[in-house]
Structure 1
Amino acid sequence: MGKTTIRKSLLEQLENRGFSGEVYRDLVNDYMNLWDNKNALQKDIKERGVVFKDRSSVGVEMYKNNPSVKDQLAVNKQMLQILKDLSLNIPVEDDEDEDDLT
């Protein structure tokens, strides 16, 4: 699911609830900025791992925890808080290929 789809879904949910002011759009923009940050952090974790090799100030090789793991948790928490504060649901992608069971 892409950024445009998520943003559109959130704005539609707000509009359906009668919340269409600039302050609400601004909060959705904040959410989308956090979404970008989350994706960048996930990319860093995928590339470097949860723990990575580094060198200390005296040149000794050592392992360090990737700070992106902790940062990602904080970003996710803030994203969920924005959704909660606006009484929004996490956007769900429609599956058009799903069999109709009715």
Structure 2
Amino acid sequence: MKKADVRNSLIKQLEDKGANVSHFEDLVNDYMDFWSIKSKLQTDIRKRGIVYEDKSSVGIVMQKNNPSVKELVNVNRQMLSILRELGLSTDEIVCNEDDEL
């Protein structure tokens, strides 16, 4: 899934609802910023895992929770909040015959 495709889809859904105004387009931009952050957090979790080894200040190896996991939850929560603010949900999907399923 490409970032531009997601953005275009959100804008199209707003247009279909007659809600393509500056305020909502700005929220779409915020959503896309969070989308980029989410991708980076997911990459970090895939790379380091949910828990990773680190050394304490005195050199003892210990397990640490990856803070990206908690941040991913917060980012997802904020993204869902933006979708609610935009009034976009699966209940109101407008399908065109040209759209792929």
Instruction: Place the TM-score, normalised by the shorter chain, in its bin.
Output: 0.7 to 0.9
Give the corresponding residue for 1:61: 61
Query: What number of residue pairs does the alignment pair up?
Result: 94
In the TM superposition, residue 21 of structure 1 has moved relative to its aligned partner by 1.4
Say whether 1:94 aligns with 2:100. yes
Which moves more between the two structures, 43-52 or 13-22?
13-22
% identical equivalent positions: 50
Distance 1:20 1:39 in 2: 26
Q: Could you state the TM-score of these two structures normalised by the residue count of structure 1?
A: 0.86
Give the corresponding residue for 1:100: none
Q: Could you state the TM-score of these two structures normalised by the residue count of structure 2?
A: 0.87
In the TM superposition, residue 43 of structure 1 has moved relative to its aligned partner by 0.1
Distance 1:24 1:54 in 2: 43
In the TM superposition, residue 89 of structure 1 has moved relative to its aligned partner by 3.1
Note the alpha carbon deviations across 1:17-53, whole angstroms, 9 max, x for none.
Answer: 1112111111000000000000000000000000000
Structure 1 gaps of 5+ residues are 96-102
Distance 2:5 2:89 in 1: 14
Structure 2 gaps of 5+ residues are 94-98
Give the corresponding residue for 1:25: 25
Give the corresponding residue for 1:99: none
Runs of 4+ in 1 over 4 A off after TM superposition: none
Instruction: Give 3-state SS (helix, strand or coil) of 2:31's partner.
Output: helix
